Structure 1
């Protein structure tokens, strides 16, 4: 392989002439004048016998918009090159289908397989908004490909912090989903520059309490390792590597849960050591995730009959919006408007059983002349899908929107 190919820098495709073309194409695919109009009206539209409320913050965040722009720009800058993407650019099937239509081919993201050995110096590899583990980045560099890195800035802030933990001999306790792309990428950075750091991924408060109990009292090391198998690197020893800990998280987790995990771990260290010297933390929930969760909490103060949450089923931040909503009222997690068969019969994703199901909620509207429906969406959901859901609601209520 030519040396100049092996040492290629990451490509900046954000040229003004390219981005002008990209903006026009993205607008056609994802923007919605109706959604913008509703936002300008304070997020409320009443038509006939139905009121629909939009959360104050919903849909695409800056990091998602940037990732999509860079992916579209890659095809314009490299019209004839093979372009690959590690996994999915974001967790939205509509967006990912558009990229496939542009002949951008997904590579496996859980492990490096033989397809990576087939990459050539003239190929372009896009790194998704979640980032990618260091082993993947090293493999791409080894193959000498052009790299377009769309990793979200909030994710990279977490990486800087966990690298710092590793340098100081602090084990990163990562609140996240062990099999999520972002968490895997963060865990690889928690090893540090010398690859001698340690991490432990935890998801639930039950996981947290188990770790806290071990911090306070020790216990059966093998049982601990068996419980968290797959959530740490080889060589992790809870007797050694829980002495100094620092909390980080997948940026799309539920903010209140991350805060509770931090509080419980901090108290466990304080109980064991009599001080907090061996505990570190910082807020790593991304701003857009916080804004969308806070906006939903605010909207839930208004009486509604039903809540629709639109987004990809594998979207973590969208799932947490569903968790918030379902504690207060009938809440349905849908991919798009096609799943609203009627307002009493909705195909949706059941978080608790991890499967798609159909639920009849016709009784919710029984005897009501006027109903109010809330709608929000995850940070990876485009406005065109939100518009389609809005229009479907009014169509099914017998009062189609003419705007």
Structure 2
């Protein structure tokens, strides 16, 4: 796989040593058990896979190289490059200006741009209408496009099933940048509708089965269907794709439910189901699959708590939190600064979108066992910083340097 030039500030000697050792031991990625870092009174279990993925490293490489190669030029980023506050903050400090926030709200009017400006397309991609608008100004969209290839894979899958006259059902968060981009590309080829979860899928199935009045669809799914969508006509043949960072089990359950709905509606069997339901393979990216499977493997290890590190608006990170919190106390933090002391931690509840303070999060026993993972847009340096902060609470611990040296031998 291609390697990228990512700023050294995002790297970690400890995490690099861990990942290198695990890769050499398990080149086929069949072992999803965590890595134990035994500091003595503190035991850290690192997930088998976590941190920067291919698409994120590609985007960071292109963005910082663009800044370096274009001194004096105005450089804009369409919206957040990735969902990590440190990386986005570093880009701003390097002179990059954001045109939109991550909800698509305009911060700087497109009318202020000129053909001499550079506009970076983020890893999530963007809509066809925005691409067209930028081209109309004379901006070279393709040259500075950091769209993740696994997001583009979903667009290609959508186009392929659209050619066979299937309506596209997108499993994703309707307001997420990637889902908005995928919806735009999908609707260019076929009628499309977004379902955000299984509950919405169940309601969609009721329209397929004729159990709910068709007219109600347009209110219930307001803002989530393509222009001119016809409930009675466009739900006869469907295929499911997804936002690449959703929970794999959720997407599979949604696809299975809709498949069974079509079988029930049209009296199909395995040989005829394709007449009404497209055989779409799962469209989650490899990193999302690996990171989620690694968390499942990590959760087989008895521990006192879990810490998940990443941007609070990161979809893939929130799903890792979701998996962990089913099993044990879990703290979602954006950096080591959220660990206020050995007694107090400031962490994010993504269900209510608020930060909470929890006291006595570390048990008063030794050794303390902590599971740690991070999202696909989280620098390894942040993971090391969190580990260092935790180690600092145990004066008799081995040092991070001791552990790094032992792994590297």
**TM-score normalised by structure 2 residue count:** 0.88
Where does residue 240 of structure 1 map in the other structure?
Answer: 233
Which residue of 90, 93, 99 corresponds with 2:91? 99
Where does residue 223 of structure 2 map in the other structure?
Answer: 230
Unaligned regions of 5+ residues in structure 1, if any? 1-18
**Deviations for 1:198-242, whole angstroms, at most 9, x for unmatched residues?**
111111111111111221234222322211111112322211211
| C-alpha distance 112-169 of structure 1, shift in aligned 2 (>3 A) | farther
Answer whether contact 1:38 1:44 (CA < 8 A) is retained.
Answer: no
Q: After the TM superposition, which parts of structure 1 deviate over 6 Å for at least 4 consecutive aligned residues?
A: none
Paired residues, number:
376
- The alpha carbon displacement at 1:117 in A equals 1.4
Where does residue 204 of structure 1 map in the other structure?
Answer: 197
Q: How many Å separate the matches in 1 of 2:76 and 2:356?
A: 33
Answer whether contact 2:15 2:380 (CA < 8 A) is retained.
Answer: yes
Answer whether contact 2:14 2:400 (CA < 8 A) is retained.
Answer: no
Which residue of 54, 57, 64 corresponds with 2:56? 64
Answer whether contact 2:99 2:108 (CA < 8 A) is retained.
Answer: no
Instruction: Judge which range, 106-115 or 66-75, deviates more.
Output: 106-115
Q: How many Å separate the matches in 2 of 1:61 and 1:356?
A: 26
| C-alpha distance 160-112 of structure 1, shift in aligned 2 (>3 A) | farther
Which residue of 67, 81, 89 corresponds with 1:89? 81
| C-alpha distance 327-47 of structure 1, shift in aligned 2 (>3 A) | same
Where does residue 217 of structure 1 map in the other structure?
Answer: 210
2:159 is the counterpart of 1:166: no
Where does residue 9 of structure 2 map in the other structure?
Answer: 29
| 2:109 aligned counterpart, secondary structure | helix
Give the alignment's Cα RMSD to 1 decimal: 1.8
Matches of residues 2-401 of structure 1 in structure 2 within 5 Å? 23=5, 26-39=6-19, 43-108=35-100, 110=104, 115-147=109-141, 148-192=144-188, 197-275=190-268, 276=273, 277-280=275-278, 281-362=280-361, 365-366=363-364, 368-399=365-396, 401=399
**Deviations for 1:341-371, whole angstroms, at most 9, x for unmatched residues?**
1344211111221211112244x614x2211
Where does residue 28 of structure 2 map in the other structure?
Answer: none
Q: How many Å separate the matches in 1 of 2:358 and 2:320?
A: 19
**Deviations for 1:155-207, whole angstroms, at most 9, x for unmatched residues?**
001101212333333211100000000000000111225xxx21111111111
- The alpha carbon displacement at 1:36 in A equals 2.0
Answer whether contact 2:98 2:107 (CA < 8 A) is retained.
Answer: no
Unaligned regions of 5+ residues in structure 2, if any? 23-34, 402-409
- The alpha carbon displacement at 1:100 in A equals 0.3
Q: How many Å separate the matches in 2 of 1:182 and 1:198?
A: 18
| 2:251 aligned counterpart, secondary structure | helix
| C-alpha distance 233-78 of structure 1, shift in aligned 2 (>3 A) | same
| 2:370 aligned counterpart, secondary structure | strand
**Deviations for 1:133-175, whole angstroms, at most 9, x for unmatched residues?**
0011111111111330110111001101212333333211100
| 1:253 aligned counterpart, secondary structure | coil
Instruction: Judge which range, 78-87 or 217-226, deviates more.
Output: 217-226
| C-alpha distance 35-114 of structure 1, shift in aligned 2 (>3 A) | closer
Where does residue 7 of structure 1 map in the other structure?
Answer: none
| 2:288 aligned counterpart, secondary structure | helix
Q: How many Å separate the matches in 1 of 2:59 and 2:19?
A: 24
Answer whether contact 1:86 1:126 (CA < 8 A) is retained.
Answer: yes
| 2:348 aligned counterpart, secondary structure | strand
- The alpha carbon displacement at 1:391 in A equals 0.3
**Deviations for 1:91-134, whole angstroms, at most 9, x for unmatched residues?**
00000011001111111161567611111111111000000000
Q: How many Å separate the matches in 1 of 2:65 and 2:20?
A: 30
Answer whether contact 2:14 2:384 (CA < 8 A) is retained.
Answer: yes
Answer whether contact 1:218 1:239 (CA < 8 A) is retained.
Answer: no
Q: How many Å separate the matches in 1 of 2:105 and 2:325?
A: 35
